[in-house]
Amino acid sequence: MSCGNHHDTDCSEVLAEVWLYLDGECDQQRRAVLVQHLDECSPCLAEYGLDEKLKQLLARKCSGDKAPEGLKDRLRRQILEQAEVSVETGPGGTTVEVRTSRVERSI
C-alpha cells in the first residue's frame, strides 16, 4: 500500500510492522520511526486504528481462554514425529534444518 506521498519509511513497510508496534515488540528506535510515519500518513494511521481495534477485540474475547495442560508438549511431539530435524554448529553459528512431510489424517 502507498498513500502516494513520499515518506522516509514506505507505507507497506509500516503496515507490515504495525502488529509488532501494537504488541510492543520493536525497539525504541524502530518504534519512533513507525510513530513518525503514522503521524504523517493518515491512510496508515486509519489502518493502524483498525488493527488496534481488532487487537483489543481479540484480547477482550479470547483473554480468558487457556489451552489445555500439556497441549504445547503434545504439539511439539507431533511436529517432531513428522519432521526431520538436524542441528549443525560451526564457526558461523548454529544452523537448524527442518524437513517435513505432509501427513493427512481423517478424523
Residue 54 lies inside a defined structural domain of this protein? yes
**Are 22 and 50 a contacting pair, CB within 8 Å?**
no
The pLDDT assigned to 28 comes to 92
How many structural domains are present in the chain? 2
Mean pLDDT of the chain: 77
Torsion of Cα atoms, 42 then 48 then 50 then 56, to 10°: -150
In 3-state terms, what secondary structure has residue 96? strand
**41 lies in the same domain as 82:** no
Predicted confidence (pLDDT) at residue 100 exceeds the cutoff of 70: no
Same domain, 16 and 55: yes
Give the model's pLDDT for residue 62: 74
Please tell me which residue, 63 or 59, carries the higher pLDDT value.
59
In this structure, are 37 and 78 located in the same domain? no
Least confident of 1-5, 51-55, 67-71: 1-5
Q: Is residue 51 part of a domain?
A: yes
* 58 within some domain: yes
According to the model, what pLDDT value does residue 101 have?
60
21/57 same-domain check: yes
**For residue 5, is it within any domain?**
no
pLDDT at 103 over 70: no
Q: Kindly report the pTM of this predicted structure.
A: 0.49
Q: How far apart are CA 32 and CA 76, in angstroms?
A: 37
- Domain of 55, in residue numbers: 11-62
Question: Do residues 89 and 54 share a domain?
Answer: no
What's the rounded mean pLDDT across residues 53-62?
78
Same domain assignment for residues 50 and 82: no
Query: Which one, of 9, 81, 71, lies nearest residue 18 by Cα?
Result: 9
Instruction: Clarify whether residues 15 and 58 are in a common domain.
Output: yes
- As a whole number, mean pLDDT of residues 47-64 equals 78
